[in-house]
Structure 1
């Protein structure tokens, strides 16, 4: 592969959710501003389960950039390994929940964000688009996503395992984005008493609630709604915690009935990253707090059931890798070709200008045309001829033949 590509990966397969939250770039504007000063192309992908940085540049420069930003623990790959990783990522074989579809939309969104920030050059765009197309192809030609669980549905499964079932429960979903939709969809298939949905943007909560027969709540009703619930699944995109220990302690006091030994218990599952729930909430009597790391057991069971499909996906990715390399190398050659065409056009313009002056001075037109074409030919082929001679001098006749056949189209 003749294109400089590198990717830095930090995911749940090797790290905890807390470590991922620590490593995230909270200010994407600042990230792109800094990265663009180092790399001609860059794309940042951040989800609840991973942080990925794809750059058009050298791995050593990417490692230095991460060190400068005080980010350690990333796995840095380069060359074809980058494309192999992106293919696996898009196919869902590297997701915490194998085969989940969310990653395709997340990769598309990451590319759109890179484009908005001026970070996506043609090579970055080619890499991401080719990987997403490959991920779609894998899903169409294997059963890796058939009946697959998402992070959202895995959270619901975890709630069932912890409580021994959800029948007759009141459940609050905090989050009106794609993850909130997936959680609510999974809950709608259970025999619940009520589903509440809350979000900073009330309209998003309303839409999800309507889709699942639930009830939308304004975010300022968060704690009263927690008081009504048996389970809270939180998955907002807030940059800060939305459920804090102080107010939650007051809620739990209200859940204490006179004849009870303790407050009516509540299960809170936080699958947001950065976390939605203050860590000290787990110390409040009656509160059971679970997070993304607790989904790994469900992920392992999911992986075992999809092992055959994952193997098929790996074969497709490996078979398609040479084509991915061609696509990226061809795209990378675009800048060089554009420079070549510009150089050739400058020669043409210069020689045409010289010819026009000679004709205006009374020179024979046929002679001018002959000189014009001869001069352009010599100047265009001068560097190629020099490369052929150098190859011959270095005892590389085959390379010289390849240069000539590439130019003439003859074999």
Structure 2
């Protein structure tokens, strides 16, 4: 039986396992800065992980308070992970075991950015920083030990495979990539070996589109010409970070008129794969004649066809994570004990300063050197007197003995006796 955590940690999550793309999109927080700033008033620390197929709210706080906070923000469909289960979930996230594409590496970068965002806003507690950094380190180690990411595909490359499966080949095809961020880069990497006729890159910032297009010998196109190039393309892969749909049904209907064979009136089909979150493409687009619209939900079949070896590696990864969890709990509890130790050391510093000042008052007429000696002496005595009890409290924390650690502090700072223990 594992030890109790010395401080509460809770994760509220929604992911591709239990929710559809629209449900994840509805749960998403469009203004992360505002969300994190508001959440910091409720919790000692908070972080927000949002990817194309999950939203995870990680807090240094209690589960009932997190549930109340999320419900006050209109969110009700989520799963809560508490304490040890939260630590385990965080490790599985970082290891890629819980990802849509088993073993994918993107999650490590996403966790780093999540922590950086919280630290920049000043909402990351030491406990939260420890947890995310530990998860990232463990996720990297899992990949090194098990090879779970060998042959793994990213969401971007899965989108390319899906398009290739629909057309049987991408050779000689024209591809339009909408978005030049991290996901856009992954898509272009997956297209590098394909014998394409043309690659177009559209982005809100044309200069960024040019940078990505240059890497792949493609063509950067302005967003104003988006529908013109959509009509020229066989496949459109959408992966912007826009907070609203970029491709709209009415404009697509108009663009599709340019894909109609003049003699028989048959519309030449176009495949649109929307891997953005929130979605780039209005749902109504999928009902337009000649348009085959796919979303994140459709990528599961690509993963199922390519992940058997990674599933086997995931079994070995879980065994490693199970061992690592015990060390994680000890590390977590040692750090969590810092708050209790802070109470002890604050009390000790108050006593030290009081007695030092009394000594200074009796040393009238002595020089500054004598005052420095008294200062150094009182600091040294305080450190030595607290050394053993500090170690004892840390040991209590490692074992999850919260009550005993608090009793030790109370016995010293308030003269309260320890409870009798069998």
2:20 corresponds to: 16
Greater relative CO (CA pairs within 8 A, separation 6+): 2
2:316 corresponds to: 312
Distance of 2:170 and 2:341 partners within structure 1 = 62
The question of 1:80 aligning with 2:105 is answered: no
Distance of 1:229 and 1:59 partners within structure 2 = 49
Equivalent pair of 2:239/2:280 in contact (CA under 8 Å): yes
- Deviation digits for residues 272-312 of structure 1 (CA, Å, limit 9, x no counterpart): 01100111111211111111111111122233231211011
Distance of 2:102 and 2:357 partners within structure 1 = 64
Moved more, 136-145 or 255-264: 255-264
Equivalent pair of 2:178/2:202 in contact (CA under 8 Å): yes
- Deviation digits for residues 163-192 of structure 1 (CA, Å, limit 9, x no counterpart): 222121101111101111111111121121
- Deviation digits for residues 186-218 of structure 1 (CA, Å, limit 9, x no counterpart): 112112111111111222222222222211112
1:185 corresponds to: 189
Distance of 1:385 and 1:103 partners within structure 2 = 45
Match of 2:124 among 120, 124, 132: 120
Distance of 2:287 and 2:412 partners within structure 1 = 77
Equivalent pair of 1:66/1:72 in contact (CA under 8 Å): yes
Equivalent pair of 1:252/1:263 in contact (CA under 8 Å): yes
The question of 1:25 aligning with 2:23 is answered: no
2:138 corresponds to: 134
1:105 corresponds to: 109
Q: Provide the TM-score with structure 2 as the length reference.
A: 0.86
Count of aligned pairs between the two proteins: 385
Per the TM alignment, residue 258 of structure 1 is displaced from its structure 2 partner at its CA by 1.4
Q: Provide the TM-score with structure 1 as the length reference.
A: 0.88
Q: What secondary structure does 1:93 align onto?
A: coil
The question of 1:395 aligning with 2:420 is answered: yes
Per the TM alignment, residue 360 of structure 1 is displaced from its structure 2 partner at its CA by 3.1
Equivalent pair of 1:262/1:285 in contact (CA under 8 Å): no
Equivalent pair of 1:173/1:197 in contact (CA under 8 Å): yes
The question of 1:156 aligning with 2:160 is answered: yes
Q: How does 1:328-367 map to 2 (within 5 A)?
A: 328-360=332-364
Distance of 1:385 and 1:247 partners within structure 2 = 73
Q: How does 1:28-47 map to 2 (within 5 A)?
A: 28-47=32-51
Change in 2 beyond 3 A, CA 1:385/1:340: closer
Per the TM alignment, residue 356 of structure 1 is displaced from its structure 2 partner at its CA by 2.1
Runs of 4+ in structure 1 displaced over 4 angstroms? 379-383, 385-389
The question of 1:237 aligning with 2:262 is answered: no
Distance of 1:113 and 1:235 partners within structure 2 = 21
Q: What secondary structure does 1:320 align onto?
A: helix
1:300 corresponds to: 304
1:225 corresponds to: 229
Distance of 1:359 and 1:228 partners within structure 2 = 90
1:147 corresponds to: 151
Return 5+ residue gaps in structure 2 as ranges. 390-408
1:170 corresponds to: 174
- Deviation digits for residues 92-141 of structure 1 (CA, Å, limit 9, x no counterpart): 00000001000000000011111122211111111101100110111111
Per the TM alignment, residue 232 of structure 1 is displaced from its structure 2 partner at its CA by 0.2
Change in 2 beyond 3 A, CA 1:386/1:225: closer
1:288 corresponds to: 292
Match of 1:71 among 63, 70, 75: 75
- Deviation digits for residues 194-248 of structure 1 (CA, Å, limit 9, x no counterpart): 1111111222222222222211112222111111100000010000111111111
- Deviation digits for residues 59-109 of structure 1 (CA, Å, limit 9, x no counterpart): 111111111111112110111111110100001000000010000000000
